[in-house]
A = this chain, B = another copy of it.
C-alpha cells in the first residue's frame, strides 16, 4: 500500500517530513497482491522556480525514484511501479532528473525559465497522469528495430488513464496495456499506456482494444496530443512509428524488458553513464550505493520548501492548433 501524506508532507522541510513518513501495510483485495511498500515525497525549494525539487523516500529515508523503486510488482499480471511526474490537467513539465544525485523530480527549464506545456484546444494540460517506469533507460546508443530510431536517454514514459488525478511524485502500481511509439525530434520515445490497478475499471482493461472500448476516443486524442503539443512553441508536428497505431500489451512488455536491461547495464557500469547519476540507497553490492545518512545530507543541502512562484496567466492560454 502506497500512502502519500501529501497534506502534511508537501508543507514542510526534510526534518519535519522524515517524522511523517508512512509505514502503512495493506493488501489490495481486487488484485490479491500485497504491496508492502510505502513511499512519500519531500518538496524542496519553491514550486515553479528553478530550485524546486521533489525527492522520494521510503520508510528508511531518501531513495532515487529512478534506481531504488523496483520496476516489477507482479510480472504475471503485468503490474509495475510508475513514478508520477505530471498529474492530469496540469501544465508544469516536471520530470525525473537524470544527472542530479538521487534523481529528484524538477521542472524542465527552457530559455532559463521553468517550462509549461501549451494547452492545445480542446485539451487542458497533460490529458493523463504522466510519468515513468523506474529502473528503465532508453539507451541513446541503441537503434530500435521497430522504429529505426535511437533512445532518448530517459526512463520509459507512461500515460496512466485511470479516473483519479494522481499526485506529483506518487508511486502508482499500474497494469501495462500497450504502447504508442512517438518519434520526438528523431528519437524513439515510447509512451506506455497503463492503468492504476486501484481504478474500478482496471480488472476489465487488459489491452489496447479494451482501452478503446472503455475510453472511446482517448487513444486517438493521445496520439493527437503528442503530435501537436510542441507546435505552439514553434516546433514541427511530431511523428509516430507504426502509423500512430497502439501496439498491444505483449509488445509493450517486451519493450519494458529491453529498457530494464539497458538500465541494469547502466547501474552495473557495463556502459558509460555519461553524466547520469546512478546513486542509490538500496541496491545491495552496487558501486553507486550510498548510505541513508549521506542521502539525507544531500537533501538537507538543498533550499527548504517555500511558497510557489506566481504562474503567469499566459500559461493558461488555449492554443487553437489543428492538424491538416
A residues adjacent to B (C-beta < 8 A): 88-89, 121-124, 127, 163-165, 214-218, 221, 313-314, 316-318, 320, 322
Contact = CB atoms under 8 A, between A and B. Distances in A.
Contacts of A221: 121-122
Given A122-B123, A124-B89, A221-B122, A216 B163 contact: no
Contact of A216 (B123, B165, B217, B322): B322
Contacts of A88: 316
A273 to B, nearest CB: 38
B317 A163 contact: yes
A320 B216 contact: yes
Contacts of A89: 89, 124
A286 to B, nearest CB: 37
B163 A320 contact: no
Given A122-B122, A124-B89, A217 B322 contact: yes
- Interface centre among A215, A218, A318, A322, by most chain B C-beta atoms within 10 angstroms, is A318
Contacts of A215: 121, 318, 320
Given A89-B89, A216-B322, A322-B217, A164 B123 contact: no
Contacts of A123: 122
- Interface centre among A122, A123, A320, by most chain B C-beta atoms within 10 angstroms, is A122
Contacts of A320: 214-218
B165 A316 contact: yes
